[in-house]
Structure 1
Amino acid sequence: MEKIVLQAQRRTLERTAKALRREGYLPAVMYGAHFPSTPILLDAHNAGLKLAKVSSSTLVYIELDGETHAALVREKQRDYIKNRLLHVDFQVVSLTEKIRTTVSLHFEGVSPAVKDYNGVVVTSLDEVEVEALPQDLPERIVVDLSKLARIGDTIHVRDLEVAKGVKVLNDPDEVVVVVSTTTEEVEAPAEGELSEPEVIERGKKEEEVE
């Protein structure tokens, strides 16, 4: 992914956020373990374009007062009616200290169990928590569905493929995805997990008999 660099300036509290937005600015804040909470301003149009597809594990670089700071986006407040950002929280990170964050799972491929046995691929997780140096954080973790050959085949957290230096913190035995004959046959998730499994792929329905 192309390196994301944002030009920022310090924000004084003399003017309201609403007034600043009218002038084309995006209010934001930078903070970190070794960085004091600092209100900043970004160009709203430029920041909106660059942050559109940024995830919680995407490293961005903020230039402020002649210095460049590596940061992660921790929160984005958005006006969904006008489709614009209202405020962004950035966590300034050290490139020499490991951090924890969530990374989304991306499902690819076609399960042979779907084609050959009319199976249903059901997901139990759509993201996992990882620990790594900021520059080693993956944008996403790919899950290969083509490995699910038969009904009952399962991919667990321990089966996820991640780069060296990246540690997945979820329970290794936790189910990521399973092939079932119907969604009802999937074991109900424990409290705190997804309330309903998500069906992401299924085989052709049998033709109805008239």
Structure 2
Amino acid sequence: MDKIVLEASKRDVIGKKVKNIRREGKIPAVMYGHKFKDTPIVLDAHSTALAMKNVSESTILTIKLDGKEHSVLVRDRQIDFIKGNILHLDFQVVSLTEKLRTNVHIELVGESPAVEEFNALIVNGITEVEVEALPQDLPEGITVDISILDEIGKAIYVKDLPAIEKVEILTDPEELIAITSAVREEAVEEPEEVVEGEEGAAEPEVIEHGKQEEEIED
């Protein structure tokens, strides 16, 4: 991925007044990190939204602030789910010489033969793993080929992930990523057919009101 650079400037506006910043086509954000003072900043909304489309938790970005470049990771993003706009961003300033921990997304690719042959279902487990590495060595994602799931009950665990150079996976090796499961077919009970006149069939009760009344009068 090409280097992503965002131009930023410091901001003094905080609290509810940041609404005015958004109306001006800008995004409020904050930068923080080891040996870096928490700094409220503001970014151009249009260029930032375009840049953020392909950014994951492990993507290293560069923020230019006061003429100096800072390597950062996106730690939080607040989205207006109705309009789809970015409301706020949190950036962690990182050192390229110090290891850090973050989550990396797992992407399932391929097709499971068990789905076609046995009408199986793919049941997903965890969708990301925690890793530790230098910022520049962090993978954008981890691809898992599910074509090895060729029978019912076969599974892929964290321990089955391929080794990644210079990256340590911290998630429990026994955590489930995907497993094939049989589709349960529920039996449908058909109502018993009652044949008219059949021996043993229940006959309707006949209530003879008139006769009973006569017997009572006697």
Structure 1 length as normaliser, TM-score? 0.82
Partners of 1:51 and 1:113 lie apart in 2 by 37
Residue of structure 2 equivalent to 1:96? 97
Q: State the structure with bigger RCO (CA 8 A, min sep 6), 1 or 2.
A: 1
Structure 1 CA distance for aligned equivalents of residues 129 and 12 of structure 2: 38
Q: Count how many residue pairs are aligned between Structure 1 and Structure 2.
A: 184
- Paired residue type of 2:76: E
- Alignment of 1:147 with 2:156, yes or no, is no
What displacement does 1:162 show?
Answer: 4.3
Check if 1:82 corresponds to 2:83.
yes
- Alignment match, 1:172: 173
Aligned residue for 2:152, secondary structure, equals coil
Shift of 1:142: 0.6
**Identity among equivalent pairs (%):** 52
Does structure 2 retain, via aligned residues, the 8 Å contact 1:57–1:103?
yes
Structure 2 letter corresponding to 1:26? I
1:8 pairs with 2:24: no
Q: In structure 2, the residue corresponding to 1:17 is in which secondary structure?
A: helix
Question: Which residue in 2 is equivalent to 1:52?
Answer: 53
Mind listing any 5+ residue stretches in structure 1 that lack a counterpart? Answer: 185-204, 206-210
Uncovered stretches (5+) of structure 2, i.e. residues with no partner = 186-218
- What pairs with 1:90-169 in structure 2 (closer than 5 Å)? 90-169=91-170
Aligned-partner Cα distance in 2 for 1:14–1:52: 26
Runs of 4+ in structure 1 off by over 6 angstroms are none
**Structure 1 counterpart SS, 2:58:** coil
Say which structure is richer in strand. Answer: 1
How many Å separate the matches in 1 of 2:122 and 2:77? 32
Relative to structure 1, the CA distance from residue 146 to residue 125 in structure 2 (aligned partners, 3 Å threshold; closer, same or farther) is same
Show CA shifts across 1:61-114 (max 9, x none): 101111111101111112222221111110001111111111111000011122
CA distance in 2, matches of 1:111, 1:77: 36
Aligned-pair RMSD on alpha carbons? 1.8
Q: Per the alignment, do residues 25 and 170 of structure 1 end up closer, same or farther by CA in structure 2, a change over 3 Å counting? A: same
User: Is this contact kept in 2: 1:142–1:161, CA < 8 A?
Assistant: no
* 1:11 shift after superposition: 1.0
Which has more radius of gyration? 2
